[in-house]
Homo-oligomer: A and B are copies of this chain.
Amino acid sequence: MKSIRIFAPATIANLSCGFDVLGCCLDTIGDEMTLTLTASNEIRITKITGAQLPLETTKNVAGVAVNALVAALNQPVGVDIEIHKRIKAGSGIGSSAASSAGAVWAVNHLLGNPFTPHELISFAMEGERLASGNAHADNVAPALLGGFTFVRSYAPLDVLKLPSPKELVATVIHPQIEIKTADARAIIKQNVALKKAITQWGNLGGFISGLFTEDYNLISRSLDDVIIEPLRSILIPEFETVKEVALSTGALGCGISGSGPSIFTLNRGYQTAQQVAQAIKNVYQHTGIDFEIHISKINTQGIKTLSS
């Protein structure tokens, strides 16, 4: 039967100034998935390695996302899904999004691409709804489109792909503690001071302009979050020290990846990213908390075919 093996990338959502709207796609960390068309007319999750996750289709984000695609297609589809998790659940780098986005992308590919990558976003969002109670797009969009993405609007859904300045390299430290997305959302206040909102949208506009003009200094000045980070960062051990050390080592910016606990930095050039990763590592080694560090250029392609 027709089969495809894919790389489903990790992603960084929010990027400090773009809560719920900005995201970018990573290259060196992601899941592997193998999807095979079958004659069964059933969506089945046949194997999961690397994580304890339900095989039941309606309880697994990949299954739910593919079900949404099949419902829109309005014709029976049989597919077996194998998921090999490398991105840990609750890490804040889009673990559920990788599974949701990867699954719909692969099924779409196997069916001869009846949907555009933009159209796949809304299907993958159904997986996010299952995972966190909120159908957010800021991880599935960069996984599906690659590079930097921007959710202009949720209703109607309107997602843009933004330019990726070539020298940008991300680092991510994932402290091995779990913060559930739902908990991280609960800590956020439902009202913000207009003055802070203006500061935030000033930075968001600056960041987007910086991507278009490849102005690394402007990108750096704009990577600031006066609304969410002050609330969420208290959930992350040593956040302030990591940020201080990252910036003083040359990072353009440092913030919470998605809803945490991962902390990301954006850097100009691979060498700086390496130095920043080492400096962060030095901080975290003293905490007694297990952690992983990733260094990655921006993945402008998104999901990749490994074999088919």
Mark A residues whose CB is within 8 Å of B.
18-22, 150-154, 158, 160, 162, 188-195, 197-206, 208-209, 212, 218, 221-222, 227
Contact = CB atoms under 8 A, between A and B. Distances in A.
Contacts of A152: 202-203, 205-206, 209, 218, 221-222
A209 B150 contact: yes
A205 B188 CA distance: 22
A139 B149 CA distance: 30
Given A151-B202, A160-B206, 13 more contacts: A18-B201, A19-B198, A21-B202, A152-B205, A160-B209, A190-B193, A191-B191, A191-B192, A192-B192, A194-B227, A197-B201, A204-B204, A208-B208
B193 A191 contact: yes
Contacts of A218: 152, 160
A18 B202 CA distance: 9
B208 A209 contact: yes
Contacts of A201: 18, 21, 197, 200-201, 204
A291 B235 CA distance: 56
A171 to B, nearest CB: 24
Nearest to A209: B160
A248 to B, nearest CB: 20
A162 B194 CA distance: 24
A198 B221 CA distance: 20
Contacts of A200: 197, 201
Contacts of A195: 190
Contacts of A209: 150, 152, 160, 162, 208, 212
16 contacts: A22-B205, A150-B205, A150-B206, A152-B202, A152-B203, A152-B218, A153-B202, A153-B206, A160-B218, A190-B195, A191-B192, A191-B194, A192-B193, A192-B194, A197-B197, A212-B212
Nearest to A162: B209
Contact of A204 (B205, B212, B227): B205
A188 B193 CA distance: 12
A244 B191 CA distance: 30
A166 to B, nearest CB: 17
Enumerate the 8 nearest inter-chain pairs by beta-carbon distance, A residue then B residue, closest first: A152-B206, A201-B201, A197-B197, A212-B212, A191-B191, A152-B202, A20-B198, A201-B204
Nearest to A17: B201
